[in-house]
Each structure stands twice: as structure tokens, then as C-alpha cells.
Amino acid sequence: ETGVTQSPTHLIKTRGQQVTLRCSSQSGHNTVSWYQQALGQGPQFIFQYYREEENGRGNFPPRFSGLQFPNYSSELNVNALELDDSALYLCASSALLSGANVLTFGAGSRLTVL
Amino acid sequence: GQQVMQIPQYQHVQEGEDFTTYCNSSTTLSNIQWYKQRPGGHPVFLIQLVKSGEVKKQKRLTFQFGEAKKNSSLHITATQTTDVGTYFCAGPFFGNEKLTFGTGTRLTIIP
């Protein structure tokens, strides 16, 4: 059974640029959630995808968008990057239909915005 | 807004001492989960409690969910260096399935 994999692991961008982060969910999991974790803080919920549809969103602006594909993998896109977007972006998958909402996290993508 | 707070923010203990972190929610949670994040790592699921007043044990770790389902605690007996990390509680508020994470408690061990 493979876990959650994310790419890239690290990247550096400049203000105003756009970034795409990718996530492959754990085998058997049909729900993907994205979290932003700033240094020294807890993970903050960005949004969740289930069956390729957004299924809940946190307090993040529209320039944060996502996709889920038929194989349950997912992308997080951030446009017009700001300095405060520098953080660890965590993808987590779960099997919502099983009745449990336990998250399996990937290792994260660390984004630095200069 | 709905918030989940943890205290203390930091805890330094001598190896072998006990450790407790407390989790308090502004509103009722449908269940509570605990995650551990090692330095430089990602959160890893430890346990889920669902019932009011529930207590679960994992070796040296004891987890408790409050009667009102608004608070929880994690107690580690006789800490070891492998316990180092940040412990997060997380819970979905009733009517909202997304997990809201607490502010975390960072545990460091003095050998």
C-alpha cells in the first residue's frame, strides 16, 4: 500500500508568480484535503475534494484553487503569490465513505516566496 | 469563529517525567483526533475518540475526551526521547466535516 506522495518537496518563487503543487493520494482513499502550515503554527484547512468536486473550503482567497482527478490525485494552484504564502503545504487523503475521517498526510511541499 | 486551542504552547521535560497537553474547543466537536509531528516531519495520526468521556490508552499515552465533547487531553507517562515533537489535537465541528487543528504543544526532552 503506497502512502501519500507530494511534489515538489521544496520550491522557491517570487511575488506575483503562480505555483502548482501535486499530490497522489493513498490507495483506496477518495478524499483529498489541503492544509497550509506556517512555521510554528498548526495546519490550516484550505479545501477538500471528493469525487473531483470541492467539498468544503477554509478561509483562503480565490487565488487558492484546486483540482482532483479521476484517480483521486490532486493539485493545489496558487496565483499571484504573496510573501505570506511561504509555508509548508500538506496534502492529506482519507476514505470518507468508511465513516472515518482520519487523515494520512504526505511529507509536504515547502514553498518559499521571495 | 470556531477555534481549537492547546496549552501549553511549549513544554520542556526531563526524560522520564510525565507530560500533559490540553485541548479546548470553542464549540462541540463530533470527535477528536490526535496527531504527532516530529521536527521537520508531517503530522501522523495517533488516535481518534468519539464518545463523550471516552478514555483510550496506547502504551505510555493516555487520551481523554471530555464529557461535553469540547475538550481533550493527552498524557504521556515517563517520557522518552522518541516522544519529541509537536502534538496536535484536531476535530470536526458538528455540521462541518473538515478537521480544524489545534495550536499544538511542542514537547522537548532533556536527556
The pLDDT value given to residue A79: 98
Confidence band for A97, pLDDT divided at 50, 70 and 90? very low
Option in B43, B92, B97 nearest A105 (CB): B43
The Cα–Cα gap between A111 and B95 comes to 32
- Asked if the bond preceding A8 is cis, omega within 30° of 0, the reply is yes
Q: Is the dihedral of CA A58, A60, A62, A67 positive or negative?
A: negative
Whether B42 and A107 lie within 8 Å, measured CB to CB:
yes
Taking 70 as the threshold, does the pLDDT of residue A99 lie above it?
Answer: no
The Cα–Cα gap between A39 and A74 comes to 24
Closest Cα in chain B, distance from residue A98 (Å): 14
Whether A107 and B41 lie within 8 Å, measured CB to CB:
yes
Taking 70 as the threshold, does the pLDDT of residue A51 lie above it?
Answer: yes
Mutate to test the interface with B, among A101, A109, A110 (most CBs of B within 10 A): A101
Whether A102 and B96 lie within 8 Å, measured CB to CB:
no
Chain B residue set in contact with A, beta carbons under 8 Å: 33, 35, 41-45, 48, 88, 92, 96-104
Least CA distance to B106: which residue of chain A? A40
The Cα–Cα gap between A88 and B95 comes to 28
Mean pLDDT across B82-110 = 90
Confidence band for A98, pLDDT divided at 50, 70 and 90? very low
Interface size between A and B, measured as CB pairs under 8 A: 47
Chain A residues in contact with B92 (beta carbon < 8 A): 101
For A61-92, write each residue's pLDDT tens digit. 999 999 999 988 999 999 999 999 999 999 99
Confidence band for A43, pLDDT divided at 50, 70 and 90? very high
* Residues paired with A53 in a beta bridge: A50
Confidence band for B95, pLDDT divided at 50, 70 and 90? low
Closest Cα in chain B, distance from residue A75 (Å): 18
Looking from the CA of B93 toward its CB, the CA atoms found within 13 Å total: 13
Pairing of strands A44-50, A31-37: antiparallel
Average pLDDT, chain B: 94
Type of residue numbered A89: Y
For B10-62, write each residue's pLDDT tens digit. 999 999 999 999 999 999 998 999 999 999 999 999 999 999 999 999 999 99
The Cα–Cα gap between B3 and B5 comes to 6
Give the number of other CB atoms < 10 A from CB of residue A20: 15
* CB burial of residue B25 (10 Å; 0-12, 13-18, 19+): buried
Taking 90 as the threshold, does the pLDDT of residue B87 lie above it?
Answer: yes
Average pLDDT, chain A: 92
**A100 versus A35: which is more confidently predicted?**
A35
Least CA distance to B5: which residue of chain A? A42
Under 8 Å between Cβ of A92 and A80: no
The pLDDT value given to residue B12: 97
